[in-house]
Structure 1
Amino acid sequence: MSGAAPGAGAGAGGPEVTAVVVTYDGAHLLPGCLDSLAAQTVGRDRLRVVLVDNASHDDTLALVRRDYPWVEVVASPRNLGFAGGNDLALDRLATPFAFLLNSDARAEPHAVEELLAAATEPGAERVAAFNATVLLQQPYRHAAPGEDGPGVLDTPAGRVVADDAGPVRLVNTTGNLVTTDGYGIDRGWLEDARTHAPEPEVFGFCGAAALLRREALAEVGTFDRAFFMYYEDTDLSWRLRRAGWGVRHVPGARVDHIHAASSVEGSPLFLLHNDRNRLLTLTVNATAGLAARCVARSVVTALSTTLRRNEPWSRTALRWRALGSWLRLLPRALAARARTARTARVPRAAVQAMLVPPPPPRPLSAPPAH
């Protein structure tokens, strides 16, 4: 149904949700994403769609203007990353809610309707964010005894192998968690979607697919553009928690995600921003003790790998670059920390009590906290 506009709905008071899709050289991904928004059961009168193009070099703008004329386009003159790109839409949000959707994701038809229902039910007034159930788009089947080779994964769901006709769907995330040693992780990563049944309350939302309440954003602000990409959603979630807002998972809102299609996990860009932004998040939000321990650990690790030469020099150099970038942004982070402290309703230690123990080693590296 490429290019089809969202169908008519029952709403009569104007759009309730603005779907925000940020893209950079992602023309090959957009049809699946935008078609899924066109198919949403909430209808066109309740859902507007804004595409933020981060100065793409491909034919993104031509594709959208030709095949998706109902999509509002915000063309940035430069690449602002995931954080800055979303802020171009969120800072002028005119609807009560925003639905963030990655360009490499596809929302099932009832996803937005399920999220809206959760956000408007009695008792949800102080919940700021509602995370969808984000699944890896690739289906799997259980591997046969002794089966090995490409596509085989060891997961909490057992050994599985990629199979387009397979019955197993693996979880990408049902929200963000932060561990007691200061790392952001995806809740439910690689678990079987049929048995993953977490508590509704979750520390933070994942920016790949979540509904945000405008009232909450007006209170604490939107993403910090200095993050560019990775950990910006964890930072915002932590600020929302300090302000007394909640975050929930909505199991019936399902989204398929092509993991790492719009960014390359393990690339220098990923490693640099992931390392730096973790420290920025802790500097702004954590207790002084946890933040100091995590920074010190990063320095010790960088020194150790420099002296022992037990990893490629390119990786060690990125560790130092991340620390240098964190240091340059430290005055900004400390100013943000002070602002948060002045307006917070919840003590740092109380929010930090929600942190979880580090998980056991995973078969794949954890996806970035988008």
Structure 2
Amino acid sequence: MTVTYDAEGLVRTCLDSLGAQRLDGLRMQVVVVDNASRDATARVVADEYPEVRLVRAPRNLGFAAGNNLALRDVRSRYVVLVNNDAVVAPDAVRALVRALDDAPDDVAAMAATVLLAARFRAAGPDEQDAAGVVHGPDGRWVPDPEGAVRLVNSTGNEVRTDGFGQDRGWLADHARHAPGPDVFGFSGAAAVLRTSALRDVGLFDESFFMYYEDTDLSWRLRLAGYRVEHCPGAVVEHVHAASAGEGSDFFRFHDARNRLALLTKDATARTALRALARYVVTTASLAVRRRRWDLVRTRVRALASYGCMLPGLLRERRRVGRAARVPRARVEDLLVPATRGYTYRS
């Protein structure tokens, strides 16, 4: 299943890769949710991919509600989520499904190995600090269409002790990245979910629109006693931030607001309040010390929107807490230390 909006070229590539899957006897129905695209996306899917089930949303519902529009009707044991800017390797769907088949019942999701679609080579001595060089945990890399190095986008989602979410393995050399199977959560870019677990904890939180909705669902799964694992053999290439540019005002707004919303719903009160206090202090610092008024305006808008959401978030917090089978503090034992970030701009 994939959700798309104004992405005619991207969705063709994605659907072609899904059509080329080697399923080895498995049956798969591809579903595309078109979020009222203004371009020819819906027509392309309907005309060129008649085997695909097209669900037309009445307006742009975002990633969370767009997925839910189709998830409510899913009757299969599993559902595979794939971003519209992803290319799925021919054996990836089979690998995800077989891995979840073989996993214990408490594994609610399997995260795929998501690689950046771009290719890279090692930066030379005179290129270490050049513009466009990617700084990763294993070295510095230069984008090169002929390069042999593949960098990791995600092998699942992590949450840091300061409340920020991050992709596990971000910008690591794929050849050297060998994480353990257990990971805090799945990335909505590519994963398989157990539908019985979704019926247990609920679907994506539609108030998030997009960003952090996969981490919120993963956290709720953890609170309900489920686990998430990584399937290394399911490889997907992802055009990072193709649908909504990272660093844009749209991204910053939803990323900031939804992180606070996530913690308010799912984290311990201490973690949520510390993150909120840090957010306010950082915003003030950007205004007083750095005079980054563009960032300040976005952060203030995000905080105001979060404030409007707060009554509903607190109701959800109580509901999630009543349904939890695992204490919030125990789930937070899975959070990872906050470390330096690594940079890449596509």
TM-score by length of 1: 0.91
| 1:190 CA drift (Å) | 0.4
| 1:70 CA drift (Å) | 0.6
Counterpart of 1:253 (choices 230, 234, 239) is 234
CA distance in 2, matches of 1:119, 1:261: 29
Q: Deviations over 1:143-174 (max 9, x none)?
A: 22213645422222212111111110000000
Output the amino acid matched with 2:247.
G
Output the amino acid matched with 1:302.
T
Q: Deviations over 1:324-354 (max 9, x none)?
A: 1111001111111111111111000000110
Aligned residues: 345
Match of 2:286 in 1: 305
Match of 1:118 in 2: 99
Contact preservation (8 Å) 2:257, 2:305: yes
Counterpart of 1:196 (choices 162, 177, 184) is 177
Dislocated runs of 4+, deviation >6 Å: none
Task: Establish whether residue 68 from structure 1 lines up as the match of residue 32 from structure 2.
Answer: no
Contact preservation (8 Å) 2:286, 2:295: no
* Alpha-carbon distance change, 43 to 86 in structure 1, aligned in 2, over 3 angstroms: farther
Contact preservation (8 Å) 2:171, 2:342: no
CA distance in 2, matches of 1:341, 1:361: 32
Match of 1:349 in 2: 329
CA distance in 2, matches of 1:311, 1:186: 30
Match of 1:320 in 2: 300
Match of 2:109 in 1: 129
CA distance in 2, matches of 1:304, 1:352: 28
Task: Establish whether residue 331 from structure 1 lines up as the match of residue 294 from structure 2.
Answer: no
Task: Establish whether residue 222 from structure 1 lines up as the match of residue 203 from structure 2.
Answer: yes
Q: Secondary structure of 1:274's match?
A: helix
Contact preservation (8 Å) 1:118, 1:124: no
Q: Deviations over 1:60-100 (max 9, x none)?
A: 01111111111101100111101110111111111111100
Match of 1:270 in 2: 251
Contact preservation (8 Å) 1:51, 1:73: yes
Contact preservation (8 Å) 2:170, 2:342: no
CA distance in 1, matches of 2:7, 2:305: 27
CA distance in 2, matches of 1:282, 1:73: 34
CA distance in 2, matches of 1:102, 1:202: 20
CA distance in 1, matches of 2:260, 2:279: 9
Contact preservation (8 Å) 1:108, 1:253: yes
CA distance in 2, matches of 1:256, 1:193: 12
CA distance in 1, matches of 2:341, 2:222: 28
CA distance in 2, matches of 1:89, 1:272: 26
Contact preservation (8 Å) 1:284, 1:337: yes
Contact preservation (8 Å) 1:206, 1:234: yes
Output the amino acid matched with 2:321.
A
| 1:303 CA drift (Å) | 2.4
Q: Secondary structure of 1:69's match?
A: coil
Q: Where do 5+ consecutive residues of structure 1 fail to align?
A: 1-19
Which region of structure 1 is more displaced relative to structure 2, 34-43 or 165-174?
34-43
Which region of structure 1 is more displaced relative to structure 2, 141-150 or 127-136?
141-150
TM-score by length of 2: 0.97
1:1-370 to 2 correspondences below 5 Å? 20-42=1-23, 46-121=27-102, 123-147=103-127, 149-308=130-289, 310-364=290-344
CA distance in 2, matches of 1:254, 1:333: 35
Output the amino acid matched with 1:357.
P
RMSD between aligned alpha carbons? 1.4
| 1:124 CA drift (Å) | 2.0
CA distance in 1, matches of 2:282, 2:72: 38
Q: Counting helix residues as a fraction of each chain, which structure ranks higher?
A: 2
- Kindly, what percent of the aligned residue pairs are identical? 52
Output the amino acid matched with 2:125.
P
Output the amino acid matched with 1:354.
L
* Alpha-carbon distance change, 35 to 311 in structure 1, aligned in 2, over 3 angstroms: farther
